């Protein structure tokens, strides 16, 4: 799978097609994908290792939502416990104090998902059940995503669980339009701990100091996950093959992360279990969603601002159109930055009208082999500049403004501008 051969694009698209299926965290399909990635590495002459980490799992036996005597199609939230609750229905599009004060003793329907601060507010204000919705009122399908009451969301509420269900947007509109009055949720499930995996490949350099390149390979329950994010996983394969044939000063570690879609669990497990390696790590380069037909290429740097300008200069030098900024990206770069490792995430971001994620429309149809090759070539060029530097030019220090954004993203500090 040599990066710049004529066959590269064909091989890359073949791998994407092979893995164009649902790969939910902790399932056999996710584990099979990890093994598939190992086999791809083996064919290129690489040895890899598989590191397991635990994730919450469940079997939902029953999930029923009844509103004013009529059953509404729904899916129960994973890891939200079991129970039955019947209460007045309350649609709450706003999250201000006045709206929250009306939650007590009610089953609350929200716009959006259930986040850390939102869940804490609902629990503190006495909500007894939660309804969320997704999908699009203008889509032909009536898909309902399988959502989860994540462990870190529950942390701020003493791990309290209340019944939660998810419905389609079309159903949500009908409930509000018909002035729904009373709701009942029945949720029964068994919960246990299962395994997810990280795949690791090491390419030694002249020093044991290392650059870690990462991408996640799991998908959400409705998605084939081609764009998000087998594209990044395939990109790592191409970059690894390039550096197999080219010398580099810094050692390179390639990390394919499991369970990113459930809250960056793979990268969080990695940084928690590799504290000594992090002392030798100078930079994280993360790939999450590249190579689609439409969209602009971006770099999000959780680092000193100088890296933003460096990437912009390199793009201009190489004739590659892109935009760089300083910020926190919702991907596997974030746990590294939180441990003091400067990090950059690369992505080609399409509008929701041309390529969507976390639903049935994330397929091979949104991908373009030529864009994949160009995106990977630019990321490889950037990596080569960093990997061949006698001293990594990026300061191993996270600026205060980025530390504050990390605190907000990781729920250590509330963003009071988000209401």
> Per the domain annotation, does 139 fall within a domain?
yes
Average pLDDT (30-45) is 97
171 shares its domain with 155 = yes
338 shares its domain with 360 = yes
Q: Is 159 left (phi over 0), alpha (psi -120 to 50) or beta?
A: left
Q: Do residues 241 and 201 make contact, with C-beta atoms less than 8 angstroms apart? A: no
> Per the domain annotation, does 367 fall within a domain?
yes
Q: Which of 167, 191, 215 is the last residue of a domain?
A: 191
**Residue 333 confidence (pLDDT) above 90:** yes
250 shares its domain with 283 = yes
286 shares its domain with 178 = no
> Per the domain annotation, does 256 fall within a domain?
yes
- Both tokens of 8, joined, read 């590269």
- Count of domains for the chain: 2
Write down the pLDDT at residue 417: 73
> Per the domain annotation, does 206 fall within a domain?
yes
269 shares its domain with 177 = no
Report residue 8's pLDDT band, with 50, 70 and 90 as the boundaries: confident
> Per the domain annotation, does 414 fall within a domain?
no
353 shares its domain with 225 = yes
367 shares its domain with 333 = yes
Write down the pLDDT at residue 376: 97
**Residue 153 confidence (pLDDT) above 50:** yes
Q: Using CA atoms, how far apart are residues 121 and 106, in angstroms rounded to an integer?
A: 13
Q: Which of 191, 209, 225 is the last residue of a domain?
A: 191
Write down the pLDDT at residue 302: 98
CATH number of the domain at 159, please. 3.50.30.30
Write down the pLDDT at residue 5: 58
Write down the pLDDT at residue 135: 95
**Residue 1 confidence (pLDDT) above 90:** no
Q: Which of 191, 210, 238 is the last residue of a domain?
A: 191
Average pLDDT (146-165) is 96
> Per the domain annotation, does 333 fall within a domain?
yes
DSSP result, 313-365: HHHHHHT---EEEES--SSTHHHHHHTT--EEEEEEE--TTT---SSTT-SGG
Find how far residue 257's CA is from the centre of its chain.
10
Place of tokens 């996710």: 30
CATH number of the domain at 284, please. 3.40.630.10
> Per the domain annotation, does 135 fall within a domain?
yes
pTM tops 0.75 = yes
22 shares its domain with 119 = no
Q: What is the pLDDT of residues 53-89, one digit of tens each?
A: 999 999 999 999 999 999 999 999 999 999 999 999 9
231 shares its domain with 124 = no
Q: What is the pLDDT of residues 263-306, one digit of tens each?
A: 999 999 999 999 999 999 999 999 999 999 999 999 999 999 99
Q: Using CA atoms, how far apart are residues 19 and 233, in angstroms rounded to an integer?
A: 10
Q: Using CA atoms, how far apart are residues 399 and 405, in angstroms rounded to an integer?
A: 10
> Per the domain annotation, does 379 fall within a domain?
yes
Q: Which residues constitute the domain of residue 125?
A: 63-191
């Amino acid at each position: 799978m040599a990066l710049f051969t004529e066959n590269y694009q064909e091989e890359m698209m073949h791998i994407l097609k092979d893995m164009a299926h649902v790969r939910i965290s902790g399932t056999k399909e996710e584990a099979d994908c990890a093994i598939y990635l190992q086999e791809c590495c083996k064919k290129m002459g690489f040895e890899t290792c598989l590191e397991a980490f635990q994730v919450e799992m469940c079997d939902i036996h029953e999930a029923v939502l009844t509103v004013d005597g009529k059953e509404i199609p729904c899916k129960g939230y994973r890891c939200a416990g079991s129970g039955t609750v019947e209460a007045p229905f309350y649609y709450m599009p706003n999250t201000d104090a006045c709206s929250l004060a009306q939650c007590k003793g009610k089953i609350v329907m929200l716009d959006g998902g259930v986040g850390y601060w939102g869940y804490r507010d609902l629990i503190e204000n006495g909500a007894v059940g939660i309804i969320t919705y997704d999908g699009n009122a203008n889509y032909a399908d009536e898909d309902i995503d399988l959502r989860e009451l994540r462990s870190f969301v529950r942390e701020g509420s003493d791990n309290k669980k209340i019944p939660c269900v998810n419905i389609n947007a079309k159903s949500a509109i009908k409930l509000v339009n018909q002035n729904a009055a009373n709701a009942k949720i029945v949720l029964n499930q068994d919960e246990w701990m299962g395994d997810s995996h990280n795949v690791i490949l090491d390419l030694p350099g002249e020093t044991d100091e290392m650059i870690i390149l990462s991408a996640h390979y799991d998908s959400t329950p409705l998605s084939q996950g081609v764009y998000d994010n087998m594209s990044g996983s395939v990109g790592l394969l191409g970059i690894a093959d390039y550096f197999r044939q080219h010398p580099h000063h810094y050692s390179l570690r390639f990390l394919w992360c499991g369970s990113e879609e459930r809250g960056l669990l793979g990268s969080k497990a990695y940084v928690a279990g590799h504290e000594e390696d992090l002392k030798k790590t100078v930079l994280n380069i993360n790939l999450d969603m590249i190579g689609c037909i439409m969209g602009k290429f971006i770099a999000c740097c959780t680092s000193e601002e100088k890296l933003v300008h460096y990437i912009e200069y390199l793009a201009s030098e190489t004739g590659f159109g892109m935009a760089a900024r300083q910020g926190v990206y919702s991907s596997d770069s974030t746990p590294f930055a939180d441990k003091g490792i400067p990090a950059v995430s690369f992505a080609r971001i399409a509008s929701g009208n041309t390529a969507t994620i976390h639903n049935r429309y994330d397929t091979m149809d949104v991908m373009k082999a030529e864009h994949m090759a160009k995106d990977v070539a630019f990321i490889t060029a950037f990596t080569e500049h960093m990997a061949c530097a006698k001293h990594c030019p990026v300061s191993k220090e996270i600026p205060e403004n980025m530390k504050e954004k990390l605190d907000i993203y990781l729920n250590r500090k509330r963003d009071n501008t988000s209401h």
